[in-house]
């Protein structure tokens, strides 16, 4: 509050103050109230919006008494009356950009002369809050493989955008708040399993029986030799069976097994969680908050666990929430186009969803059973395998798709059946004698 005084033969005074306001929410209607008390004659009222750290003042409202009769009752300045006035500015839908300081300037005439104006002003800081506009939970460093023989850290990232001020973000597991150890820096990628610096908590270890241990060691030896530890084996060979030659282009092998080998590093007790926050200011004045929850993954107990990220903010009447369920892939659905492949066609084999909702996003690896892929590579990473200009020799070949995420892996197989010659060489095909094998099935001689 500022006070203006004038001392000559007569004394006048002027006091100005703006009523304080609590923080307001974007979208609300806000009224700024400037109260002033004086025994002088009104000259003007001016409202300013202050920007750029006080270097710029934008005039948003002006009242000039010279062009108004509202204050005609004050013209007899010889009467010593204390008069209280109020000037208001209404912002019908306040925005984040309206956040900042405002000033109310009031001027009155000096009692001795109308040529001199006494000024006083008041100021207020309008604090505009905004609730978060979006929230999502993602997995960091995905897609990632399933680790059978080494413990791996897993991180969920909760991204909250559009809030002002920054919201409070926390995690729950299966509806229960997670007691996490705060981290100031992200863990190093090669640091291995995270350790709790708080008082030691005993963790029980799950021992495997000899049968499972031998199986684990045999799978490990297969990987060391460069082979792939298959989780299921097709029952059919590579030689085409005449009984299947007139079947659809692809043959889906029904066995789909979720592969899990849990060695001695797997803990059966509740894991230790670590939580780290980061804040990134946006140009519009809001803050993006990222909360990172990290722990040593245990596929045994973490598969199908429900994790939720919740947000508390003064502009929200109730917490904001997003949730995910950690699920290993199961039952990939394979689609092959075209439905009847011919020699020379480009064949696309695509994973078109799963039997369940999978999180985090899985990675896909394609291999050809018993041989290399058409381009000579041992395997291909991607959701879709493309075979360009398939030759007749691929008839009956079988392809394995391995889908995996940190919770588990699953294999599924499909067989490629190649019919005849390419459509563009139909005339050449029709000129051949009947009974010859073209792409794996006999042609009948035309009459």
CA dist., res. 381 & res. 189, Å (int): 23
19 pLDDT above the threshold of 50: yes
| pLDDT tens for each residue of 158-199 | 999 999 999 999 999 999 999 999 988 766 555 556 655 544
| Residue 194 confidence (pLDDT) | 61
CA angle 50, 54, 60 (to 5 degrees): 20
Average pLDDT of the segment spanning 204-230: 39
* Whole-prediction pTM: 0.70
Phi-psi region of 48 (alpha: psi -120 to 50; beta: other; left: phi over 0): beta
Domains of the chain, earliest start first? 14-73+81-129 (2.60.40.10), 134-183+271-326 (2.60.40.10), 333-419 (2.60.40.10)
pLDDT over 60 (residue 248): no
Mean pLDDT within 144-157: 91
Model confidence pLDDT, tens digit, residues 100-139 = 999 999 998 877 666 788 899 999 999 999 999 999 999 9
**Which pLDDT value is given to residue 135?**
97
Task: State residue 23's pLDDT score.
Answer: 95
- Contact criterion met (CB below 8 Å) for 410 and 303: no
The CA-CA-CA angle for residues 382, 386, 388, to 5°, reads: 155
Give the pLDDT confidence of 341-394 residue by residue, as tens digits. 999 999 999 999 998 899 999 999 999 999 999 999 999 999 999 999 999 999
Tell me how far apart the alpha carbons of residues 128 and 240 are, in angstroms, rounded to a whole number.
73
- C-alpha–C-alpha distance, residues 47 and 60, integer Å: 6
Q: What does the pLDDT average to over 245-271?
A: 53
Does an H or E element contain 427, and which?
A: helix 426-430
Pairing of strands 306-312, 168-173: antiparallel
Mean pLDDT of 259-272: 61
């Amino acid at each position: 509050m500022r006070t203006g005084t004038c001392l000559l033969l007569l004394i006048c005074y002027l006091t100005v103050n703006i009523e304080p306001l609590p923080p307001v929410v974007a979208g609300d209607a806000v009224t700024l109230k400037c109260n002033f008390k004086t025994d002088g004659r009104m000259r003007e009222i001016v409202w300013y919006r202050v920007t750029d750290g006080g270097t710029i003042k934008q005039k948003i409202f002006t009242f000039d008494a010279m062009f108004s009769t509202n204050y005609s009752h004050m013209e007899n300045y010889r009467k010593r009356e204390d008069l209280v006035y109020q000037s208001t500015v209404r912002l019908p839908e306040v925005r984040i950009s309206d956040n900042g300081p405002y000033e109310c300037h009031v001027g009155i005439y000096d009692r001795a002369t109308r040529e001199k104006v006494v000024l006083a002003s008041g100021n207020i800081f309008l604090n505009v809050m905004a609730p978060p506009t979006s929230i999502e939970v993602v997995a960091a460093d995905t897609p990632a493989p399933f680790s059978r023989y080494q413990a791996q850290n897993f991180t969920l990232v909760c991204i909250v955008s559009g809030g002002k001020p920054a919201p409070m973000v926390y995690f729950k597991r299966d509806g229960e708040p997670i007691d996490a150890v705060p981290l100031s820096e992200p863990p190093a990628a090669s640091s291995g399993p995270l350790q709790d610096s708080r008082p030691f908590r005993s963790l029980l270890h799950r021992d495997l029986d000899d049968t499972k241990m031998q199986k684990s060691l045999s799978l490990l030896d297969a990987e060391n030799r460069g082979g792939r530890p298959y989780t299921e084996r097709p029952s059919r060979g590579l030689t085409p069976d005449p009984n299947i030659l007139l079947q659809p282009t692809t043959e889906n092998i029904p066995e789909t097994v979720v592969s899990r080998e849990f060695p001695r590093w797997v803990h059966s007790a509740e894991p230790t969680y670590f939580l780290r926050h980061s804040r990134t200011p946006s140009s519009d004045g809001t803050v993006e908050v990222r909360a990172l929850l990290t722990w040593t993954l245990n596929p045994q107990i973490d598969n199908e666990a429900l994790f939720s990220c919740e947000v508390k903010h003064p502009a929200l009447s109730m917490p904001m929430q997003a949730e995910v369920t950690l699920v290993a892939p199961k039952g990939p659905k394979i689609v092959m186009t075209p439905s009847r492949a011919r020699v020379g066609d480009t064949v696309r084999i695509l994973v078109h969803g799963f039997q369940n909702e999978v999180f985090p996003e899985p990675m896909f690896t394609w291999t050809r059973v018993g041989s290399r892929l058409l381009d000579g590579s041992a395997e291909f990473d991607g959701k879709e395998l493309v075979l360009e200009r398939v030759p007749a020799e691929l008839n009956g070949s079988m392809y394995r798709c391995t889908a995996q995420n940190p919770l588990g892996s699953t294999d599924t197989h499909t067989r490629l059946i190649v019919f005849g010659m390419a459509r563009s060489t139909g005339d050449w095909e029709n000129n051949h004698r009947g009974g010859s094998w073209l792409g794996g099935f006999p042609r009948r001689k035309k009459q």
